Structure 1
Amino acid sequence: MRKIIYFFSIFVLLMSFGCENNDDQILIVDDIPIVDQKKEYKILSLGDSYTIGESVCETCRFPEQLKDSLSITFKKDTTFSLQVIAKTGWTTTNLINTIEQKNITDDFDLVTLLIGVNNQFQNKNFSIYEQEFPELIATSIRAANNTKANVIVVSIPDYAFTPFGRGSASISTGIDKYNEFAKSYCDQNGITFVNITDITRQGLTNPNLVASDGLHPSELAYTKFVERILPLAIEKLKD
C-alpha cells in the first residue's frame, strides 16, 4: 500500500490542537507545516509517461500522490484539483503541440514539468530540447499565474537502471546531459528543480522501484519522488 506521508503524526497533533481557533495557525510536524487556511488549489502536471504513470494505477502516479499528500497536509476543508497533460512517448515537441490545442488557463497555483526522456530515447537532436525546454518553462510560468516561483521542474528518471535498460552506461550519459541542461537553465532563471534521478538509479538493486513492465517507475518510486517534491510544494502554496 502507498505510504500516506505523515498521516498519523498529523492526526495526533490535530487532535491536541482541536480546541484552538486561530485562522492563521501553522503547525509543524517533522519540518512539514500543516497549513490552516481555507482555499481551493489548482495543480497542473505536464510531461510524458513518468507523469501519466505508465504501468501503475491512476492514483499511484506522482501528481496524484502529491495532490493526496497536500490534501492531508492542509486543513480538511481545503480542496485540490489536478489536471494532467501527459502521454507515454511524448517528446518536448509533442507536449508543446498538445498544450497549444488544450488552451490551458493561467490560474494554476502549482505547475510541475517532467519532460525529455523521449527526446533522448528517440535520438532527437539535442538542440530541439535546448530550444523547446525553455518554451515549456515559459508556458509553465504563464499557467502558474505568471509566477515562476509556482513552477517545479522534476529531473528525468534514468531507465538504464531497469531490466529494460540493463545498466547501459550510454543511457545514463544521455540522461545526465538532459538533466544537466535543465538544471542549469532552472538555476539561471530562478526555477525550482528537484532531482529524483538518483532514486531511479537504485532500480536494479531494489526491483520494488520498477513497475511491472520492467521500464517505468513503480508506485513506491513515485512515493519517493513526492517525499522530495512535497515540502517545496507546501512552501509555494502557503506563501
Structure 2
Amino acid sequence: MPVQYLALGDSYTIGERVEPDGRWPVQLTAALRADGVVIDAPRIIARTGWTTGELSTAIDAAAPLGDDHALVTLLIGVNNQYRGRDVGEYAHEFAVLLERAIGFAGRRADRVVVLAIPDWGVTPFAAQSGRDTAAIARELDAYNAAAAKICARRGVAFVDIAPVSRERGAEPAMLADDGLHPSAAMYAEWARLALPVVRRLLAQSHAP
C-alpha cells in the first residue's frame, strides 16, 4: 500500500507564487520516492491567508478525510501572528488542530510532523511594511515555542525551520517575486530538514 500523505497549512504549504512541484510537501514526496518510499501525491488542504481557525473550518468542509494517513504534516500560525492574535489563543487552536491531525493518522502521534513558522520579518516585504521586525521575531518565537511544547507533550515531531528562514530568507533566490513568500529553493531547504525526520517516522510506523 502506498503511503497516504495529508498536508495541512496555509500559504507556506500551498506554495503561494511557486509552481506545484515547488511546494515543500511535493518536494518532500519526491525526495521520499527517491529513497524508495512508495508514496501517493500529497493531499493538500491549505490556502494563502488561513489562520488556525480558518484551517479548521476548511478541514470540516473537506470531511471525511479518513484516518488512515501514514503521514500528516502541519504548518500553521503565521496569519494569526500577522493579524495580532494572542499567543494563548494560537496555542489553544493549534492544540485542537494537532489532535485532528493525529486523528487523521489513525491516532498515531508518531505519524505526524509539525513545521515551525518561518520568520517573515526578514523579508523585503516586512522591511517595506513599516512593521517592527524585531517584534515579529519575538512574536513568532513565542508562537513556535508554544507549538513545540504542545508537540513534545503529545509525542509529535517538530521540525524547526525558523533558523534557516532567518539565515537565508532575505536572499533573492530564496524569495518568490512578491518579496514575501518563499521560493521553491527555500521550500527545498524545508523539505531537506523534514526528510530525515519523516524517513525515520515512516520506518518506525511500518516496522513489524
TM-score w.r.t. structure 1 length?
0.80
Question: Out of 95, 107, 125, which is 2:68 matched to?
Answer: 107
Q: Distance in 2 between matches of 1:51 and 1:227?
A: 15
Q: Do structure 1's residue 87 and structure 2's residue 47 form an aligned pair?
A: yes
Q: Do structure 1's residue 74 and structure 2's residue 36 form an aligned pair?
A: yes
Greater share of helix: 2
Give the CA deviation at 1:204: 5.6
- State the identity as a percent: 38
Give the CA deviation at 1:60: 0.1
Give the CA deviation at 1:110: 0.2
Q: Do structure 1's residue 183 and structure 2's residue 148 form an aligned pair?
A: yes
Q: Distance in 2 between matches of 1:100 and 1:179?
A: 25
Give 2:125's aligned residue. 164
Aligned to 2:167, the other structure's residue is in SS state: coil
Q: Please say if residues 163 and 204 of structure 1, whose CA atoms lie closer than 8 Å, have aligned partners that are also in contact.
A: no
Give the CA deviation at 1:132: 0.7
Deviations 1:119-161, CA, capped at 9 Å, x for gaps:
0001123332121111011000000111000000000010011
Aligned to 1:202, the other structure's residue is in SS state: helix
Deviations 1:12-70, CA, capped at 9 Å, x for gaps:
xxxxxxxxxxxxxxxxxxxxxxxxxxx31100000000000011111101000011111
CA RMSD of aligned residues (A): 1.4
Structure 2 residues not aligned, in runs of 5+: none
Q: Please say if residues 155 and 196 of structure 1, whose CA atoms lie closer than 8 Å, have aligned partners that are also in contact.
A: yes
Kindly provide the amino acid, as one letter, of the partner of residue 72 in structure 2: V
Q: Please say if residues 123 and 170 of structure 2, whose CA atoms lie closer than 8 Å, have aligned partners that are also in contact.
A: no
Relative contact order (alpha carbons < 8 A, sep ≥ 6): 1 or 2 greater? Answer: 2
Change in Cα spacing, 1:135 to 1:206, as seen in structure 2 (3 Å) is same
Structure 1 residues not aligned, in runs of 5+: 1-38
Kindly provide the amino acid, as one letter, of the partner of residue 91 in structure 1: T
Give 1:33's aligned residue. none
TM-score w.r.t. structure 2 length?
0.91
Kindly provide the amino acid, as one letter, of the partner of residue 95 in structure 2: P
Q: Please say if residues 124 and 170 of structure 2, whose CA atoms lie closer than 8 Å, have aligned partners that are also in contact.
A: no
Greater share of strand: 1
Aligned to 2:125, the other structure's residue is in SS state: coil
Question: Out of 206, 213, 219, which is 2:178 matched to?
Answer: 213
Give 1:46's aligned residue. 8
Change in Cα spacing, 1:92 to 1:204, as seen in structure 2 (3 Å) is closer
